[in-house]
Amino acid sequence: MTSENNKERSMPVLTLTNLAKRYNRKVWGVRKMDLEVEDKEFVVFLGPSGCGKTTCMRMIAGLEVTTRGSIILHGKDITDLPPRNRDISMVFQNYAIWPHMTVYENIAFALKLQKKSRSEIDRTVKEVAAMVKIDQLLSRIPGQMSGGQQQRVALARALAVKPKLFLMDEPLSNLDAKLRVVMRTELKAIHQRTGATSIFVTHDQSEAMSMADRIVIMKDGEIVQVGTPDDVYFRSADMFVAGFIGTPPTNFFPVEMKTAGEKVELSHPRFAILISGSDADRLKNNGQNSLILGVRPEEIKVVPEKDSLLSVEVMVVEPQGSFQIVAVEIEGEIVKIVVGSAGKIQPGERLHLSFVEERLHFFNAETTKRI
């Protein structure tokens, strides 16, 4: 137990160095992965399909041969070890519960192979079954169970081995929307209780935001950004991250920069905005005049006409209960705005908008990187 203020970095549990995977000597699944995972951390690999997140997890599990690089777990190089010698466990997307075994046998499988005593196996199985609330189902066979129950069995099986590293490959994506949110909370609670270092793969950014200590955002087999949910949301490393994280995602406006004394002016065909302070300094130092301005939907405000930056006509309104998403068209691009639910907005209505200036994002128009 370390005390709260003693926050020195401990040795990483998992270190990936220059990890890469190529299929058939031509197609790169993962180009380059460098990552350190801390003890008890919950790390989420997030990215669109085909970005290499699952391949990377399968390499950590030992189910894919690595083309290059190394995987160190608790100081031991496991790059070329078979899965059974890696001290890991895994929850598969399609559960992969063995249909010819009862729930009890499924959970006890690994323990039996470890030659644990009968009483110890029995104790562990009952303990983890209670943790995921399937203690009533131990004698059932998986064919008689719902998807949610099977997912719980997969979870119990993975918890039973008390691994050094807990891998989860899109474990919630086969569940219905309501159950997914329930399981999300339970998984987080289980993680807090067991403290097992975990890697979780998903393509669902809201799942990643709600569960992760740190999110690893991947694209085309490479890491784009590693950071806390706040990091990736408020300080997105590039336009890909800004456009991937958040529902609805960041709105982008191409702007031209002009220096105006201490300040800089960003001009768009429909509006011009003055930037001051450290943001202005950064933009001046950057030197480029063509930029992309990124504004999160909730950082566009509806204001009285006299304070407004621009006025637009409402195209579509999507009520969400506690808020509404308003879509407007600005220079041929759809821009989405999150507005509180007070005061119903109608399509065709004119809105006067302004931006929250301290929360603007600036990106290089060519490299798409954050400025």
Partner 1 sequence: MPDTTEIQDRETKRNLTPYLLIAPVVIYYIIFWLFPVINAVGGSFLSTSLDKGGIFTLANYKAVFKDPIFWQAVINTTIIVIISVTLEFFLAFGLALLINVKFRGSSFFLFLAIIPMSLPAVAVGAMWNSGLATYGWLNSFLIRIGLIDPSNKILFLAGTHFSRMILIILVDAWQVIPFMMIILLSGMQGLQPEMAEAGRVFGGNRWQVLRKITVPMLKQTIITAMILRIIAAIQIWLIIVMIFGFNRLPVLMEQIVLNIDQYMAEEFFRKGMALSVIVAVLVSGVSFIYLKASGAFDDPGSREGDE
Q: Please state the closest distance from residue 103 (CB atom) to partner 1, in A.
A: 10
One residue of 94, 194, 228, 364 binding partner 1 per CB under 8 A: 94
Pairwise CA distance, residues 201 & 215, whole Å:
10
Structure tokens at 72: 């160190």
Pairwise CA distance, residues 64 & 363, whole Å:
37
Phi, psi of 320 (to 5 degrees): -125, 15
Structure tokens at 58: 């399968």
Q: Please state the closest distance from residue 110 (CB atom) to partner 1, in A.
A: 4
Q: Please state the closest distance from residue 137 (CB atom) to partner 1, in A.
A: 11
Could you list the beta-strand ranges (E) of the chain: 14-23, 27-37, 42-46, 68-73, 76-77, 88-91, 165-169, 198-202, 214-219, 222-227, 251-260, 263-268, 271-275, 290-295, 300-302, 310-319, 323-330, 333-340, 350-355, 361-364
DSSP secondary structure, 255-268, as one string: EEEEEETTEEEEEE
If binding is defined by CB under 8 A, does position 104 make contact with partner 1? yes
The pairing of beta strand 263-268 with beta strand 271-275:
antiparallel
One residue of 99, 261, 343, 348 binding partner 1 per CB under 8 A: 99
DSSP secondary structure, 298-339, as one string: GGEEE--GGG-SEEEEEEEEEE-SSEEEEEEEETTEEEEEEE
If binding is defined by CB under 8 A, does position 161 make contact with partner 1? yes
The stretch among 71-79, 105-113, 288-296, 317-325 that binds partner 1 (CB under 8 A) is 105-113
| Closer to partner 1 by Cβ: residue 81 or 365 | 81
Do residues 237 and 273 touch, judged by C-beta distance below 8 A? no
Find the DSSP H helices in 162-204: 177-194
Within 112-141, which residues bind partner 1 (CB under 8 A)?
113-114, 138-141
Q: Please state the closest distance from residue 141 (CB atom) to partner 1, in A.
A: 6
Q: Please state the closest distance from residue 148 (CB atom) to partner 1, in A.
A: 18
| Closer to partner 1 by Cβ: residue 134 or 337 | 134
Contacts of 302 (CB under 8 A, 6+ apart): 337, 339, 351, 352, 353
| Closer to partner 1 by Cβ: residue 96 or 334 | 96
| Closer to partner 1 by Cβ: residue 82 or 343 | 82
Residue 135: exposure state from Cβ atoms within 10 A (0-12, 13-18, ≥19):
middle
If binding is defined by CB under 8 A, does position 61 make contact with partner 1? yes
Query: Which residue do the tokens 């949110």 mark?
Result: 181
The stretch among 7-15, 32-40, 100-108, 351-359 that binds partner 1 (CB under 8 A) is 100-108
Q: Please state the closest distance from residue 118 (CB atom) to partner 1, in A.
A: 11
170: DSSP letter = S
Q: Please state the closest distance from residue 87 (CB atom) to partner 1, in A.
A: 10
The stretch among 65-73, 110-118, 272-280, 347-355 that binds partner 1 (CB under 8 A) is 110-118
| Closer to partner 1 by Cβ: residue 143 or 343 | 143
Structure tokens at 304: 């009285």
| Closer to partner 1 by Cβ: residue 142 or 227 | 142
Residue of 139, 169, 125 whose CA lies nearest to 151 = 169
Within 298-327, which residues bind partner 1 (CB under 8 A)?
none
| Closer to partner 1 by Cβ: residue 194 or 206 | 194
Total residues contacting partner 1 by CB under 8 A comes to 30
Within 190-209, which residues bind partner 1 (CB under 8 A)?
none
Phi, psi of 16 (to 5 degrees): -105, 130
Within 62-91, which residues bind partner 1 (CB under 8 A)?
62-63, 82-84, 88-90
Residues interacting with partner 1, by CB under 8 A? Answer: 61-63, 82-84, 88-90, 92-94, 96, 98-100, 102, 104, 109-110, 113-114, 138-141, 143-144, 157, 161
